[in-house]
A and B are shown apart, each in its own frame.
Chain A
Amino acid sequence: DQQVKQNSPSLSVQEGRISILNCDYTNSMFDYFLWYKKYPAEGPTFLISISSIKDKNEDGRFTVFLNKSAKHLSLHIVPSQPGDSAVYFCAASASSGAGSYQLTFGKGTKLSVIP
């Protein structure tokens, strides 16, 4: 039973355009959501996060949107750059109950930004 789903295994975007990566979750206890970026042969790097009390968080070119009623979040990258080409993982955690502090990851979306 996959609690965090990234339904697009890959995405190609032209340099300078917007990249939109999507993530859906099923566990209503999740209240903290993160995006990680991963290059080959490196560990995942934390990119941006959002708490369930917000519906948007922005950091430079990266914005995460959270729609709690739809249990959906998305990462927008504007403008996309070739260096953004990587695998992006969505992750979620619940701050209360058993397993708090644990992250549940999606399977990842490979973003390719074409020059």
Chain B
Amino acid sequence: DAGITQSPRYKITETGRQVTLMCHQTWSHSYMFWYRQDLGHGLRLIYYSAAADITDKGEVPDGYVVSRSKTENFPLTLESATRSQTSVYFCASSESSSHQPQHFGDGTRLSIL
């Protein structure tokens, strides 16, 4: 089925470890986004990508790295995880024209001990 999938759905890791969250979409959407959702903050944009090999920072990029070598994949890496990065992470994608909604995956719940 076409759509956007995130993996893993749940992840527990320790501080200082590197962890990568995967995002894959089958719509061939140009734009892809990573958000984190925390209590009291709603959804905050971490990074986004307008096309393969084009990425840019969002509101809360510190501590995260992204890449986009293929249009359909947009992995998010925490190079050295900290407890403050415990959160639920959502990936989204949208078409390239303006006034288009973003479509979200089901999220990855990440706990850093």
Contact = CB atoms under 8 A, between A and B. Distances in A.
Interface of A: 31-32, 34, 36, 41-46, 49, 51, 89, 93, 95, 100-108
B52 interface: no
B93 to A, nearest CB: 11
B45 A41 contact: no
Contact of A51 (B43, B45, B99): B99
B98 A44 contact: no
Nearest to A44: B104
Interface residues on B, range: 20 to 34
A89 B42 contact: yes
Nearest to A50: B99
User: DSSP majority for the B interface?
Assistant: strand
Contacts of B45: 102-104
18 contacts: A32-B99, A43-B92, A44-B104, A49-B99, A49-B101, A51-B99, A89-B43, A93-B98, A95-B99, A100-B98, A102-B48, A102-B58, A103-B45, A105-B35, A105-B43, A106-B42, A107-B40, A107-B42
B5 to A, nearest CB: 10
Contacts of A46: 101-103
